[in-house]
Structure 1
Amino acid sequence: MIERSLSKKILSMTKSFPVITLTGPRQSGKTTLVRWLFPDYEYINLENLNDLHAVQEDPLRFLKAFSSTGVIIDEAQKLPELFSYLQGIVDESKQMGKFILTGSQNFLLLEKITQSLAGRVAVFRLMPFGLCELDQAGFIQENLDKILFTGSYPVLYDRDIQPQDYYPSYIQTYIERDVRSIKNIGNLSTFQRFIKLCAGRTGQLINFSSIGNELGINYKTVSSWISILEASFIVYLLKPHYKNFNKRLVKQSKLYFFDTGLLCSLLDIQSRIQLNSHYLRGFIFESFIVMEYIKMRYHKGLVPNAFFWRDNTGHEIDLLLEEGENLKAIEIKSGETINSDFFKGLKYFGNLSRLSKENLFLIYGGLKNYKRTAAKVLSWKNYREIAES
């Protein structure tokens, strides 16, 4: 069992909330984590027909039976009526942390929670392993391409299975199972082509019309399908920062994939050697760093505070972190050799925003940290120092 960073936060919230909800992508380790944290709780999986029918017969009796002893309900969104009963039970029992709900479909689960359990539930998101979790467990070496190609899904560190064998099956299962349960999509082959088109645009501004034109579908369909990928934690849309610094800004979001192993599979990259020379390697690395920060926030029980900045003349900052009135600007470059051009965007933004050089960072593909005149330079292995600075 690799220790998850979110564990302490979940346990602390069981003292303050009657219901704990854990959502995240399929096979990110949600069930493993909650069964490890709550070994004495009854475990019910609503994807198991026997469990589902048993709960459906008498939901009220089922919930009352565990109001004091505790129960884990896996894939809780499968039985929406359960949430209405749960509200009355937790209000009556006044017990904290006795109901643990998990689910892989974010908006289906959270929509039902906000309708029935507002103020009674603490919501957490568990992503595949973060770099710090793998590092503490001794899995991180110094081969960046191997890490990017492998990705961070727990099964790849638990079983003797190769990324090129795992991800195609994961993608197929996701399309056939989850997509159909979220939305009635008539042509699944078009949806699969859509995901691959999105993979080719990782780290770039998302243009719904452009994608729609390539697939022969309309703008609304593309928007709807992007929402499905977001709800299933396949992609993340990084929003532009709202403060304009007297410049006209782009309004589109940038598209990233949560997991670079999955991303490589969608791009038909078959080995880390092939990745090394791939034309999208820089964007894949950028996706890796941005998502590592997002995962770090989620695994602390926090919402992301990340944006990007780009004006209409092409000046850009890859990642802006907003901490109250304080901003940190981060440029992300995959090269191992530091080039003076790497600092151009940081210098421009620093002058424009009058941001202190202490808040300017460059994360690159090398292994050493440096202090340069223009910014602090961090290795990809040390990205966490941004949050600590």
Structure 2
Amino acid sequence: MFPVLLVTGPRQVGKTTLLQKLMEDDRKYVTLDDPDVRYLAKRDPALFMQRYTPPVLIDEIQYATELLPYIKMSADRSGRKGDFWLTGSQVFRLMKNVSESLAGRVGIVNLLGLSDAEIYGYESTPYTTDAARLMKRAAGMKERGLNEIYARIFKGSMPALYAGDTDWEVYYRSYVETYLQRDIRDLSQVADEMQFYNFMTITAAHTSKPVVYEEFAGAAGISAPTAKKWLSLLVSSHIIALVQPYSNNILKRAVKMPLMHFLDTGLAAYLLKWGSPEVLERGIMSGVFFESYVFSEIYKSYLNAGKEPPVYYYRDKDQKEIDILLYQNGTIFPIEIKKAASPGKSSIKNFSVLAPLDNPERFGGMRELKTAIGQGNVICMSKNLLPIDEKNWYVPAWLV
């Protein structure tokens, strides 16, 4: 569809491996991790393009963004689709150059760590709360209990941890060192690697919580603007996701701050020095890790289908909160996440705050602002998919 394909995502999630498996025999491969190749690309991009003619896969394109105007010219001359396949990890350095140089010519695919569907061999489809879809999906899946779920949460999503006998602690230590030394060190706005490491740890401790920049800044010993800038780096490198609050003129008491989730719970567990799945499951952060795990599975289900995740959350000044709102086709689908096996009907009590959206005239709003409220889910440790009432269902976490 596009002359250029760019696959972005965190380090070591398999971007290059995926594209190499899809490569045709005549497609060349070159990595800008090689210092000599990188030097040529930066010093003489025109000569580089003569050496590596399309179709070509260029790995770690962020190391030589000087190539992008030449890729644009080549793509415009040939008019062929898929001439250039690119990968990039340092999205914070890359995307501005891509948007300026390759506007309208590049298809961007965001690749995160492995989803449950990929790990356990199930079909991957964008998550919806529809009970009929969930029942059909449950028929082909194996139930997983609390211990299995937390083993998965603790292990994380990195492909290398599922490919062989890789030591978990050694792997994540190396991963963090690589991220700090190869990505963060290159950024002028981060002067102290250890201070940024401390900030990452503080961020992991705030997973599944609203973002208050002053709190992050005070805990890390930095200014609030610096905290905001550093959080944006973690977002850009797909370490965390910021979930925006659902905004509607009818819900006047809704807060404006985003909610933050660590996307790889294994990395968060490493940063916070949790020693085992059992200790994590019994620990004080057990619930928030469960929430971030469920969120990341829903989030990845959309990215893996090439779609923008339609995810929001709700929180108001009375501390009423709904963990996830899926907004699609003019309809809001509320999702609550609870670690309990039998959360009870109180788990959907906050869904009632959405009533003004469904009936704005009754609450002093205009009919034109009406938003339908769809089927809701409570994703929990229930063994079975069960109805709560005529509109809401308990959904086992293994079914997400």
Aligned partner of 2:377 among 361, 370, 377: 361
**1:118 partnered with 2:123:** no
Counterparts of 1:248 and 1:113, CA distance in 2:
39
CA contact (8 A) 1:333 1:365 kept: yes
Q: Give the Å deviation of 1:39.
A: 4.2
1:244/1:260 Cα in 2 relative to 1: closer, same or farther (>3 Å)?
Answer: farther
Counterparts of 1:140 and 1:107, CA distance in 2:
39
**1:349 partnered with 2:353:** yes
1:340/1:105 Cα in 2 relative to 1: closer, same or farther (>3 Å)?
Answer: same
Deviations 1:143-188 (A, max 9, x none): 1110100111100011211323321221122112211123342222
Counterparts of 2:379 and 2:85, CA distance in 1:
38
CA contact (8 A) 2:331 2:373 kept: no
Counterparts of 2:208 and 2:334, CA distance in 1:
17
CA contact (8 A) 1:238 1:306 kept: yes
CA contact (8 A) 1:333 1:364 kept: yes
Counterparts of 1:65 and 1:172, CA distance in 2:
33
Letter in 2 for 1:375: N
Aligned partner of 1:52 in structure 2 is: 38
Matched positions, count? 366
**Aligned partner of residue 80 in structure 1, secondary structure:** helix
CA contact (8 A) 1:131 1:140 kept: no
Counterparts of 1:246 and 1:132, CA distance in 2:
36
Aligned partner of 1:4 in structure 2 is: none
CA contact (8 A) 2:41 2:66 kept: no
Aligned partner of 1:220 in structure 2 is: 225
**1:375 partnered with 2:392:** yes
**Aligned partner of residue 12 in structure 2, secondary structure:** coil
Aligned partner of 2:298 among 293, 296, 302: 293
Q: CA RMSD in A?
A: 2.0
Q: Give the Å deviation of 1:135.
A: 1.9
Aligned partner of 1:315 in structure 2 is: 320
CA contact (8 A) 1:308 1:317 kept: yes
Deviations 1:354-386 (A, max 9, x none): 387751111002331101216111111222xxx
Q: Give the Å deviation of 1:316.
A: 1.2
Q: Give the Å deviation of 1:140.
A: 9.0
**1:242 partnered with 2:247:** yes
* 1:1-389 alignment runs, 5 A limit: 16-40=1-25, 41-56=27-42, 58-64=44-50, 67=53, 69-136=54-121, 142=145, 143-346=148-351, 348-354=352-358, 359-373=375-389, 375-383=392-400
Moved more, 159-168 or 143-152: 159-168
Counterparts of 1:247 and 1:38, CA distance in 2:
52
CA contact (8 A) 1:199 1:267 kept: yes
Deviations 1:81-111 (A, max 9, x none): 1001111111111111010010001132211
**Aligned partner of residue 22 in structure 1, secondary structure:** strand
1:163/1:141 Cα in 2 relative to 1: closer, same or farther (>3 Å)?
Answer: farther
CA contact (8 A) 1:164 1:270 kept: no
Counterparts of 2:345 and 2:9, CA distance in 1:
39
Q: TM-score, normalised by structure 2?
A: 0.86
Counterparts of 2:242 and 2:22, CA distance in 1:
31
Letter in 2 for 1:349: V
Counterparts of 1:47 and 1:139, CA distance in 2:
41
Counterparts of 1:369 and 1:139, CA distance in 2:
13
**Aligned partner of residue 320 in structure 1, secondary structure:** strand
CA contact (8 A) 1:350 1:360 kept: no
Counterparts of 1:129 and 1:349, CA distance in 2:
35
Q: Give the Å deviation of 1:60.
A: 2.4
* Unpaired stretches in structure 1, ≥5 consecutive residues: 1-15, 384-389
Q: Give the Å deviation of 1:251.
A: 0.7
Deviations 1:115-155 (A, max 9, x none): 11101110110101111111217999541110100111100
Identity %: 31
